[in-house]
Copies of this chain bind each other. A is one copy, B any other.
């Protein structure tokens, strides 16, 4: 197996990306790692930081997609970028999965146009794990600002498969993010999706309000990418706010400092729980080959975990299941078409 890593994109590129890729190569001796980037930059960075890159293959690229780039740059003026070349390699079978911490819009556009969606899937989405005691897969968390009930149903199916195969959850509970729990709540998007999910083979547990999300109300939470992005980032901000507050409380006086020392391990676990890097990255579900979006602020550990996640994704066979599901739905002449008339 070969995993392709874009080492030029992300807030901490190239150093942390290179370090992460090297760590991943060490951790997975039966797996090959290709890092894509400017050869000279990579070699200089490795030398300056005394990192041995002998365990990874270097694939040269000639430009870098930055945050300001338009999404389509990856297939046009910057197709020779680390992201463009990495996706092209994935398309051509020169690797089984691709990891990038770069521009999300470009990654989705490039993955869709080069690697292509699974036949029958109308939109790929970003699936992000919300780091609660019971992890929640949020989909879509930002790729599709507007969606249809069919998209949400496909997100629910793909998210369920992911949680089943990667998190070993039997019949994952699917919830729809809404402004109330009653089936009449929301806009037509939500009420129609409610009916589709209810009538589907999925383990649908109904509408979920924002306040229930931290308490394990479901395993897969579907919504449009606008609301999902707001929820994801609010959860992230609240986590940070909370850790700052805890620090403030635990440094109040000598007694609290002593207390903090006595529960050092617990606090560390807590920090880890809210640390995005622990969860690797967010898979783009619906693309025909595994593409993992690592967090923009990924450090070496996060990159290593994103590679681990990519390997698990490849081994899981999720995409085969999704393909089969699409073929069956197609054979039945369209589940949604039937329901939506």
Decide: B236 and A211 in contact? CB cutoff 8 A: yes
| Residue from B210, B212, B225 in contact with A232 in the complex, judged by beta carbons closer than 8 Å | B210
A 214-251 to B, binary, CB cutoff 8 A, 1 in contact else 0: 11000000000111011111111111111001100110
Is chain A's interface secondary structure helix, strand, loop, or mixed overall? helix
**A209–chain B nearest beta-carbon distance, Å:** 5
- A187 (CB) vs chain B CBs: closest residue: B145
Q: Does A186 contact B (CB under 8 A)?
A: yes
A145-B242 contact, Cβ under 8 Å, with A235-B234, A236-B210:
no
Residues in B whose Cβ lies below 8 Å from that of A241: 132, 214-215
In the complex, what distance in Å separates the CA atom of A88 from the CA atom of B229? 42
Q: Which of A54-62, A112-120, A252-260 contacts B (4 or more CB under 8 A)?
A: A252-260
- Given A187-B145, A230-B179, A230-B230, A237:B263 Cβ within 8 A: no
* Closest residue on chain B to residue A241 by CB atoms: B214
The minimal Cβ–Cβ distance linking A226 to chain B, given in whole angstroms, is: 6
The complex places the Cα of A225 from the Cα of B246 at a distance, in Å, of 31
Instruction: Select which of B225, B231, B245, B262 is within 8 A of A210 by beta carbon.
Output: B231
Chain A residues 153-196 with CB under 8 Å of chain B are: 177, 179, 186-187
Say yes or no for A290: interface residue by CB 8 A criterion. Answer: no
With both chains docked as a complex, state the minimum distance between the C-beta of A320 and any C-beta of chain B, in angstroms. 32
Number of copies: 2
State the Cβ distance, A229 to closest chain B Cβ, in Å: 4
Residue contact A252 to B242, C-beta cutoff 8 Å: no
Among A132, A210, A235, A246, the one with the most B-chain Cβ atoms within 10 Å of its Cβ is A210
B255 A262 Cβ-Cβ under 8 A:
yes
Q: Is A213 an interface residue (CB 8 A)?
A: yes
> What residues make up the interface of A, taking CB atoms closer than 8 Å to B?
132, 142, 145-146, 177, 179, 186-187, 209-215, 225-227, 229-242, 245-246, 249-250, 252-253, 255-256, 258-260, 262-263, 266-267, 270
Q: 28 A-B residue contacts at CB 8 Å?
A: A132-B241, A142-B179, A145-B179, A145-B186, A146-B187, A177-B230, A179-B230, A209-B230, A210-B230, A210-B232, A210-B234, A210-B235, A211-B236, A213-B234, A213-B237, A227-B230, A231-B231, A234-B234, A235-B238, A238-B239, A246-B246, A249-B267, A253-B262, A255-B255, A255-B258, A255-B259, A258-B259, A259-B260
Give me 12 other A-B pairs in contact (C-beta within 8 A), A255-B259, A258-B259, A259-B260 excluded: A145-B179, A179-B229, A210-B234, A215-B237, A215-B241, A235-B238, A245-B270, A246-B246, A249-B263, A249-B266, A255-B262, A256-B259
